[in-house]
């Protein structure tokens, strides 16, 4: 039996995709071998690779003057790769320190070059994102780095800053669930293991003209121009992750690509926020309402004990992985693109019955 899996990543994937993978696993399209046993230079794999790149471009509406790269090392390696490629002598980079991941990106960039906190949400316990006029943009800033959705704290940027410097975005946890104003961005990146597919793949999209200016003085795997020159086949790519991602992208296209996913995310997270707001104060969200994540809904019951009881009962009812990140506790429902409407309905129904049962029998 499949449960409703609210894990923050890796996470639930469309059942149709998993079944298709299972079906063609032993003999991939008549090759007599699986996709993970064949050469990454074989025509069969090359077709998979090209199709996944094309479908990503189509679904995300990536303009022709951007290059899409399939990389490894997750989003975490891109924390280093981005400044290494873009940040040169005499320039700085502003980082929005909006939560755990924004903090991590800044730390890694500062290990390489002149990176500073353009805004720090820590004094506010990371409960909102900054307004544009709160961002410090230094005269020598090469880019402003943002985390469009902070997965752990459950906050998102409702819109992207307009601050006169190019943006760089870590979109790991809301990739392809919202449109990107590409004209404002030089680069976006994210790990695949939430909205796209299995772990092991990071997708980085860079304005192609920048590939002539990136730092050349780096080992080859760290050079974005080197990956671009080889169409993301500089070395053996994460073939299985790319193959499954291609299938997820095809599934997404049928559901209306990014516009369809955006509507779906607003509607489904909205149902859970309504359950929180309509609970008479039983459930509480720490996040400023306009900045509530559409992917990771973070909330609490009146006590740690009730949080634990909620999680335990929910798990028994097939609602799994609802525990908040170990650093913040509480409850977190991650409602990525592939979560089913049934899963969300089941969660909302459970929230209501759990609250009612506590009103009747507070000892639980
Ligand atoms: C917003 C964000 N950035 C970065 C990361 C790190 O990603 P990875 O595990 O792919 O390195 C995560 C992981 O959850 C994330 O949510």
Averaged confidence pLDDT in the chain: 97
Instruction: Mark residue 174 as left, alpha or beta (left: phi above 0; alpha: psi -120 to 50; beta: remaining).
Output: alpha
For the residues 318-335, what does the mean pLDDT come to? Answer: 94
For residue 68, pLDDT over 70 is answered with yes
Tokens representing 119?
Answer: 């805004």
Return the H-helix or E-strand segment holding 333. strand 331-334
For CA atoms 308, 309, 314, 317, the dihedral sign is: positive
For the residues 75-99, what does the mean pLDDT come to? Answer: 97
| Helical pair 304-316 and 341-360, crossing angle rounded to 10 deg | 130
For residue 364, pLDDT over 80 is answered with no
Q: Give the position, in ligand 1's atom list, of the atom nearest the Cα of 74.
A: 10
* Ligand 1 within 6 A of CB of 172: yes
C-alpha to C-alpha distance for 157 and 20, rounded to whole angstroms: 35
Q: What is the DSSP letter of 29?
A: G
Q: Give the position, in ligand 1's atom list, of the atom nearest the Cα of 191.
A: 10
List residues bridging with 123 in a β-sheet: none
Q: Give the position, in ligand 1's atom list, of the atom nearest the Cα of 151.
A: 16
Residue 285, phi then psi, degrees to nearest 5: -110, 130
User: Given the DSSP bridges, would you call strands 202-207 and 66-71 parallel, antiparallel or unpaired?
Assistant: antiparallel
Assign 54 a pLDDT band (cuts: 50, 70, 90).
very high
Q: Is 206 in contact with 51 (CB distance < 8 Å)?
A: no
Does residue 266 sit in helix, strand or coil? helix
User: What Å distances lie between residue 179 and 158, 263, 283, 289, 339, CA to CA?
Assistant: 11, 11, 30, 21, 19
Instruction: Tell me what pLDDT residue 289 has.
Output: 97
Tokens representing 33?
Answer: 């071998």
By the 10 Å C-beta count (0-12 exposed, 13-18 middle, 19+ buried), 184 is classed as middle
Instruction: Tell me what pLDDT residue 233 has.
Output: 98
C-alpha 191 to ligand 1 mean position (Å): 6
Give the distance, in angstroms, between the CA of residue 38 and the centroid of all CA atoms in the same chain: 29
C-alpha 156 to ligand 1 mean position (Å): 14
Q: Which of 8, 9, 321 to mutate to test the pocket of ligand 1 (most atoms within 8 A of CB)?
A: 9
For the residues 115-135, what does the mean pLDDT come to? Answer: 98
**Residue 335, C-beta contacts closer than 8 angstroms, at least 6 positions apart:** 6, 265, 268, 269, 272, 294, 295, 296, 297, 343, 344
Instruction: Tell me what pLDDT residue 361 has.
Output: 65
Tens of pLDDT, residue by residue over 21-36, are 999 999 999 999 999 9
By the 10 Å C-beta count (0-12 exposed, 13-18 middle, 19+ buried), 358 is classed as middle
**Model pTM greater than 0.75?**
yes
For residue 243, pLDDT over 80 is answered with yes
C-alpha to C-alpha distance for 117 and 357, rounded to whole angstroms: 46
The secondary structure of 150-168 as a DSSP string is ETTTTEE-SS----SS-EE
Does residue 326 sit in helix, strand or coil? coil
Q: Is 272 in contact with 347 (CB distance < 8 Å)?
A: yes
So which residues are the catalytic ones? Answer: 101, 170, 194
CA-closest candidate to residue 11, choices 263, 306, 296, 304: 296
CA-closest candidate to residue 309, choices 343, 360, 351, 274: 351
Q: Which of 151, 178, 202, 326 to mutate to test the pocket of ligand 1 (most atoms within 8 A of CB)?
A: 151
Q: Which of 72, 73, 75 to mutate to test the pocket of ligand 1 (most atoms within 8 A of CB)?
A: 75
Assign 308 a pLDDT band (cuts: 50, 70, 90).
very high
Assign 214 a pLDDT band (cuts: 50, 70, 90).
very high
Q: How far apart are the first and last CA of the chain?
A: 27
Tokens representing 153?
Answer: 């704290």
C-alpha 73 to ligand 1 mean position (Å): 10
């Amino acid at each position: 039996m499949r449960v409703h899996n609210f894990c923050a990543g890796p996470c639930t994937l469309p059942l149709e995709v998993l079944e298709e993978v299972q079906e063609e696993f032993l003999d991939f399209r008549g090759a007599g071998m699986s996709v993970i046993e064949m050469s990454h230079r074989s025509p069969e794999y090359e077709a998979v690779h090209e199709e996944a790149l094309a479908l990503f471009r189509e679904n995300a509406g990536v303009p022709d003057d951007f290059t899409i790269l399939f990389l490894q090392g997750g989003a975490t390696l891109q924390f280093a790769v981005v400044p290494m490629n873009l940040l040169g002598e005499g320039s700085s980079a502003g980082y929005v320190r909006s939560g755990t991941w924004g903090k991590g990106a800044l730390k890694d960039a500062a290990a390489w070059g002149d990176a500073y906190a353009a805004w720090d949400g820590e004094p506010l316990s990371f409960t909102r994102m900054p307004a544009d006029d709160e961002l410090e943009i230094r005269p020598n800033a090469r880019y402003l780095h943002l985390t469009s959705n902070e997965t752990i704290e459950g906050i998102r940027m409702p819109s992207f800053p307009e601050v006169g410097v190019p943006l760089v975005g870590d979109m790991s946890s809301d990739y392809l669930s919202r449109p990107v104003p590409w004209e404002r961005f030089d680069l976006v990146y994210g790990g695949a293991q939430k909205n796209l597919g299995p772990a092991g793949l990071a997708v980085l999209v860079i304005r192609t003209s920048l590939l002539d200016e990136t730092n050349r003085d780096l080992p080859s795997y760290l050079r974005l121009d080197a990956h671009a020159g080889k169409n993301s086949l500089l070395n053996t790519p994460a073939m299985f992750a790319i193959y499954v991602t291609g299938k997820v992208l095809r599934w997404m296209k049928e559901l209306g690509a990014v516009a369809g996913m955006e509507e779906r995310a607003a509607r489904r997270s909205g149902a859970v926020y309504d359950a929180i707001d309509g609970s008479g104060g039983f459930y509480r969200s720490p996040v400023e309402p306009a900045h509530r994540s559409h992917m990771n809904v973070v909330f609490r019951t009146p006590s740690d004990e009730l949080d634990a009881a909620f999680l335990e009962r929910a798990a028994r009812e097939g609602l799994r992985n609802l525990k908040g990140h170990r650093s913040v506790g509480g409850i977190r429902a991650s409602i990525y693109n592939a979560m089913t409407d049934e899963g969300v309905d089941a969660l909302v129904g459970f929230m209501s019955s759990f609250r009612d049962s506590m009103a009747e029998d507070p000892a639980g």
